[in-house]
């Protein structure tokens, strides 16, 4: 992970755990797990090629942090529509959530 991406992650780190817990709670309420959610977004979202590309590259273990950073909008909109979270609030946080999730794959 390059310095700028790492710096962005550090800046929003304090928000990540509460956001992650909130989303996890909502997903449990909806009886969905994150993989199902991603599949749903990939299936329903106009930007699904982003996630196909991201997942493919992660499977090949390529460095995609910058790509993820510039393509979090589709994930944010997909999650917001499913869990009824205000997108303006979520937009700032989705970057870190996405990077932290995909970094663990």
> Are the C-beta atoms of 17 and 97 separated by less than 8 Å?
no
The whole domain housing 74 covers: 3-103
The span from the CA of 74 to the CA of 78, in Å, is 6
The span from the CA of 103 to the CA of 11, in Å, is 17
Per-residue pLDDT tens for 12-55? Answer: 555 555 655 665 666 566 555 556 655 655 565 544 455 555 55
Per-residue pLDDT tens for 56-100? Answer: 555 554 554 544 444 555 555 555 555 555 544 444 455 555 555
- Total-model pTM: 0.31
Residue 37: helix, strand or coil by DSSP?
helix
Residue 59: helix, strand or coil by DSSP?
helix
Q: How many domains does the chain have?
A: 1
């Amino acid at each position: 992970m390059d310095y700028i991406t790492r710096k962005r992650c550090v800046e929003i780190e304090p928000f990540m755990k509460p956001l992650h817990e909130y989303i996890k709670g909502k997903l449990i309420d909806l009886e969905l797990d994150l993989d199902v959610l991603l599949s749903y977004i990939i299936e329903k979202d106009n930007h699904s090629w982003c996630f196909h590309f991201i997942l493919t590259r992660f499977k090949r273990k390529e460095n995609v942090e910058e790509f993820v950073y510039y393509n979090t909008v589709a994930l944010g909109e997909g999650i917001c529509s499913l869990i009824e979270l205000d997108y303006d609030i979520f937009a700032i946080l989705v970057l870190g959530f996405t990077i932290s999730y995909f970094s663990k794959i």
